[in-house]
Amino acid sequence: MPRVFEGGIDASGMRFAIVASRFHEEIVTRLLEAAVECLLRHGAADHDISVYRVPGAFEIPAAAAKLASGKSFDALVTIGCLIRGETPHFDFIASQTTVQISEVAMASGVPVSFGVITVETPEQARQRSMKGNNKGWEAALAAIEMASLSRVAAAGGSSSPGVS
């Protein structure tokens, strides 16, 4: 049986950057608050969490790329909200934002989690930012796990979290 490696969910000693848009402020604020709460509850120190605010979702990848290039963070969490309108603008922004956030992770080697919700209606956005179904929390948890897995991989698989 091969050895299986997984990241843990202990954020102690890790540094995180959260890049959050300001557009759709009410929704994004709930996503952001949940992401910070998740990191803290899983052991991250308050001073090891940095929040960077950008105008909208389209600006998230540029900020994330800049932060990832400094290699100062164990992982980045991206937070935003895109609600479909009556024009194709949503499709362009959603596609570019998704692809470019992924490219930041691939190019930098720094884990970048995706907490940008893309929804059809404001009600769907509210549902995805409510306690118990908050996509900001989920993105932060994914960032912790990927940062942990990155540490395991960098150690050549000799670290203990999630080894079976």
Q: Which residues are catalytic?
A: 89
What is the DSSP secondary structure assignment for residue 159, as one 8-state letter? S
Q: Cα–Cα distances in Å, from 48 out to 13, 16, 73, 75?
A: 8, 6, 9, 11
Q: Cα–Cα distances in Å, from 95 out to 57, 89, 100, 116?
A: 11, 10, 8, 11
Rounded to whole angstroms, the Cα distance separating 120 from 122 reads: 7
